[in-house]
Amino acid sequence: MWLSMGDKQREPVPFQLISRDEEKKLPASVVQWVASTKEKRGIHFFAHADRRYLLITAGIRPNPGYRLTLSQVRSGKQGWEIVVKESAPQPGRFYPQVLVVPYLLGEVRKTVKVIEESTGKPFGEDSAPGPLR
Selected residue with higher pLDDT from 118 and 131: 118
- Output the pLDDT for position 125: 76
**What confidence tier does 58 reach under pLDDT thresholds 50, 70, 90?**
very high
Give dist(CA 64, CA 56) in Å, integer.
Answer: 17
Is the pLDDT at 129 greater than 60? The verdict is: no
Give dist(CA 15, CA 111) in Å, integer.
Answer: 10
Question: What DSSP state is assigned to residue 20?
Answer: H
> What is the residue-averaged pLDDT of the chain?
88
- Output the pLDDT for position 7: 39
Phi, psi of 47 (to 5 degrees): -110, 135
